[in-house]
């Protein structure tokens, strides 16, 4: 049996001997919070619908899902909670390199898959012809930037998104950044320092709400609002960590359905130009950590447990594969100019098809690929 020696300090008495079996046990993921998994899936579906709706109805004041972009802040908060729960006690043992490998295997296959889909829709979109404009070289750089999560806001036709082939990759860029800071610094910090960081992030969000016209906190995706993404992840990720560190888990019997209603309330909250600078920071700073605390403590029925499991499994593949087709929808709307009645049929059908596609990619590509990578690099 192979043995690993992991030094925990200069004193030899603090050196622990860990067998390969025990080391693998350290790498195993802890049990899931089923309701939080389910809510992640609901939030992913909200993001998909929101991305269609913001193209169909450009006036946010008339869009019933105008706050759908706040789902990303919920993702960041949920991520901070889950990462702290899963790794706070294991981080000193597994080390930063092993942590990075685990996270890359979990996240990066879908980054690559989303990039491939983005390239295909870029090349074969029936309603646009961008390739002659950008040529082989720039197209290649767009693809490589997407695969390696290097911001490359090249295309004004796509609003100078950081990742023009697959726009949601901007949040993965910040998720990776938060994960790297976690394993290098954040897990070592005490609660008081984390509180200071969270307060700094909250102050940044309030500043953005005041600075940005109409108080919109939905930045971070483009070259023109790059640092807004840093503020969003700084607050929400550390807030999620604090929910875990302080054990702010609120035991309740709401169940999954009630939690879905509470989550949707944040996204369906009326959009008002005059008050967004107040309402959006309140939702992100106070309401989302509260929902994470409630979701972690709520009971789940056997039926809901299965739904939550599927919802959680499909959430990330759906999030990372839908937007290449939203780009096609954008050019379709611009060129064809369909009626709103037509769009009310196109959008729900598109969402359903994208959910099915995400499930198939998850089942036949993502899961097998991750199993292979785990067997090759984590044993």
Q: What is the mean pLDDT of each run of 10 residues along the chain (379 residues)?
A: 30 37 52 90 98 96 95 98 96 94 98 98 97 97 98 96 98 98 97 98 96 89 96 98 97 96 97 92 98 96 94 98 98 97 98 98 98 92
Confirm if 37 and 309 have CB atoms less than 8 A apart. yes
Q: What pLDDT is stored for residue 270 in this prediction?
A: 93
Whole-number pLDDT of residue 10: 31
Residue 269, classified by CB atoms within 10 Å of its CB into exposed (0-12), middle (13-18) or buried (19+), is middle
CA max distance for the chain: 73
Alpha helices in 125-254 (DSSP H): 131-147, 169-184, 191-211, 226-245
Q: What's the CA gap between 190 and 233, in Å, rounded?
A: 19
Burial 176-190 (b: 16+ CB within 10 A, else e): bbbbebbbeebbebe
Rounded Cα distance, 334 and 336, in Å:
6
CA distance 220 to 230: 7
Asked if 39 and 79 count as a contact pair (C-beta separation under 8 A), the reply is no
Yes or no: say if 330 and 67 are a contact pair by the CB < 8 Å rule. Answer: no
The pLDDT of residue 278 = 94
Give the helix ranges, DSSP H, for 246-361: 255-268, 276-282, 288-297, 302-321, 323-336, 340-361
Residue 212 confidence (pLDDT) = 86
pLDDT of residue 24: 53
Classify 332 as helix, strand or coil.
helix
* DSSP label of 29: P
Q: How far apart are the first and last CA of the chain?
A: 12
Give, to the nearest 10 degrees, the angle between helix 226-245 and helix 71-87.
Answer: 40
Of 65, 73, 72, 76, give the one whose Cα is nearest residue 267: 65
Determine the Cα–Cα distance for residues 79 and 85; give it in Å rounded to an integer: 10
């Amino acid at each position: 049996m192979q043995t690993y020696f992991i030094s925990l300090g200069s004193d030899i008495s603090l050196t622990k001997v860990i067998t390969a079996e025990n080391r693998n046990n350290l790498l195993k993921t802890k049990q899931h919070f089923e309701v939080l998994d389910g809510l992640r899936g609901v939030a992913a579906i909200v993001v998909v619908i929101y991305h269609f709706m913001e193209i169909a109805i450009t006036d946010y004041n008339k869009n019933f899902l105008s706050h759908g972009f706040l789902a990303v802040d919920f993702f960041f908060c949920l991520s901070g909670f889950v990462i702290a729960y899963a790794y706070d006690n294991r981080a000193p043992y597994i080390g930063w390199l092993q942590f990075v490998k685990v996270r890359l295997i979990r996240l990066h296959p879908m980054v690559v898959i989303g990039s491939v889909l983005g390239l295909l829709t870029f090349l074969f979109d029936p309603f646009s012809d961008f390739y002659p404009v950008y040529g082989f070289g720039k197209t290649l750089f767009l693809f490589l930037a997407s695969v390696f999560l290097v911001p490359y806001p090249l295309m004004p036709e796509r609003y100078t998104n950081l990742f023009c082939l697959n726009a949601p990759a901007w949040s993965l860029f910040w998720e990776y950044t938060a994960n790297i800071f976690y394993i290098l610094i954040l897990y070592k910090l005490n609660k008081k320092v984390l509180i200071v960081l969270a307060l700094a992030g909250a102050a940044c969000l309030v500043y953005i709400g005041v600075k940005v016209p109409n108080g919109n906190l939905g930045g971070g995706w483009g070259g023109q609002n790059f640092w807004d993404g840093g503020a969003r992840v700084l607050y929400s990720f550390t807030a999620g960590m604090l929910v875990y560190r302080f054990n702010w888990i609120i035991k309740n019997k709401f169940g999954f359905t009630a939690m879905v209603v509470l989550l949707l309330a944040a996204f369906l909250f009326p959009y008002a130009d005059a008050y967004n600078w107040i309402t959006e920071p309140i939702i992100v700073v106070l309401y989302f950590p509260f929902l994470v605390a409630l979701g972690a403590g709520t009971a789940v029925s056997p039926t809901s447990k299965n739904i939550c499991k599927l919802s959680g499994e499909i959430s990330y593949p759906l999030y990372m594969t839908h937007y290449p087709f939203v780009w096609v929808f954008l050019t379709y709307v611009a060129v064809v100019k369909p009626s709103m009645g037509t769009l009310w049929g196109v959008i729900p059908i598109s969402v359903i098809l994208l959910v099915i596609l995400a499930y198939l990619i998850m089942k036949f590509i993502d899961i097998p690929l991750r199993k292979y990578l785990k067997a090759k690099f984590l044993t």
